[in-house]
Amino acid sequence: MSDDPNFMRLALALGRRGLGTTWPNPSVGAVVVEPGTGRILGTGATAPGGRPHGEPLALAAAGEAARGATLYVTLEPCSHHGRTPPCTNAILAAGIARVVSALEDPDPRVAGRGYDLLRQGGVAVETGLLQDQAARDHIGHVTRVTRGRPAVHLKLARTRDGFCASAGPERLRITGPVADGAVHLWRAHADAILIGIGTARADDPSLTVRLPGLSGRSPLRIVLDTHLRLSPASVLARTARDTPTLVLTTRSAPAHARRALEALGVEVATVPVDAAGSIDLPAALAHLGERGLTRLCSEGGPRLAEALAQADLIDTCTLVTGPVELGSAGGLPALGPALMQALAGDRFREAERSQLGPDEAVTYERNRI
Ligand SMILES: NC(=O)c1ccc[n+]([C@@H]2O[C@H](COP(=O)([O-])OP(=O)(O)OC[C@H]3O[C@@H](n4cnc5c(N)ncnc54)[C@H](OP(=O)(O)O)[C@@H]3O)[C@@H](O)[C@H]2O)c1
């Protein structure tokens, strides 16, 4: 039986560790293996900030031993001069005999050209190994290239009877520590966390990664705030110099509110409004894509979730259901009609179901059509 899938699994695991740190570039894993013996000669993954790429790092680790070896790589090697020289050149110069790749890069500057250049250079190229997993890991890069915006992972926690908050001002704890740990890991693997001003005002969250060993991995925090109501006294504003905060607002934002937030280190950017007078979501996400963001974790409330569903901007959705019930007291329903319809329809499929302590998490993925 071929060991190819095992080496590709290793390359995928190496790439996955860097998710959230390499934007605007994808986090690519690479492994150089001696044919016959299966000895691992070198490994690499895209460095923080997006360069060097994973392939040259793995080739450098292998050194002269890379001559005649097999390279496993999670994404088609780049063939264009970007901020770094093309990886195809490095692979040919190293004398790699065979390349096994998981996913073709849809970037029009590459899109099959990387494979062609390698084949023309006499390298045996095999593609599509563990492609589904690679597509999941590289969803940010693929979505930014094909849709011009970051991929959106929507997360919502709800009570067993379907509410995401109580009716009154008191904060409702829905999930336990295991689920909270999972949320922090999603945050660490995101380029940015997105919320609406409703959540910022109700919960005054810090939206940082508080997992042992990953505390340096807090991503950018983004608030959608049409009229710039984010308080300078909020945690997000007060800690903006430690963990960057970006507020997307509109022309209606008062200048004094902008000055007060900017004085604290908050970045304020103006984006277009939609017909209803709110921030235009497709335009806001396109703006974030232009900035190079590839992976967004949406942790806003039901209004933002519903608006994302209405605009068909959700790529992955995780619903975490806790054991709490609000009963006749009721509260704020977690799922609006558009989100409910989207998850029940054929645009999404259930991809994973897991028990996180007392809470159950179900993840839905957009069908690739
Ligand atoms: N259980 C959970 O997973 C969870 C997660 C987060 C929050 N919550 C709870 O949800 C409640 C807050 O709910 P929410 O729905 O108000 O919070 P939200 O969705 O985070 O914020 C909604 C606000 O964002 C602003 N916004 C700007 N552009 C928007 C757009 N295009 N689409 C939608 N919103 C846009 C709007 O205010 P402007 O018009 O003023 O800009 C809107 O009222 C709190 O009680 C909080 O505790 C629960």
**pLDDT, tens only, 104-136:** 999 888 888 899 999 999 999 999 999 999 999
From 199, 252, 279, 312, mutation site for ligand 1 pocket: most ligand atoms within 8 A of C-beta: 199
Substitution site in 174, 224, 280 for ligand 1 pocket (most atoms within 8 Å of beta carbon): 224
Local confidence band at 58 (pLDDT 50, 70, 90 cut-offs): very high
> Shortest CA distance to 287 belongs to which of 208, 204, 194, 366?
194
- Whether 55 is catalytic is yes
What domains lie within the chain, and their CATH numbers? 3-136 (3.40.140.10), 149-366 (3.40.430.10)
pLDDT value, residue 352 = 95
Burial label, 357 (beta-carbon count in 10 A; 0-12, 13-18, 19+)? middle
* Dist CA 17 CA 19 (whole Å): 6
Alpha helices by DSSP H, listed for 27-86, are: 54-62
pLDDT confidence tier of residue 168, bands split at 50, 70 and 90? confident
| pLDDT score at 169 | 82
Band of pLDDT at residue 215, cut at 50, 70 and 90? confident
Q: Is the pLDDT of residue 100 over 80?
A: yes
**CB atoms inside a 10 Å sphere around CB 350:** 10
| pLDDT for residue 108 | 82
* Residue 153 binned pLDDT confidence (cut-offs 50, 70, 90): very high
Does position 190 have pLDDT exceeding 70, yes or no? yes
- Ligand 1 pocket, residue 174 CB under 6 Å: yes
Indicate the SS3 state at residue 283.
helix
What's the predicted TM-score (pTM) here?
0.95
Confidence of residue 33 (pLDDT cuts 50, 70, 90): very high
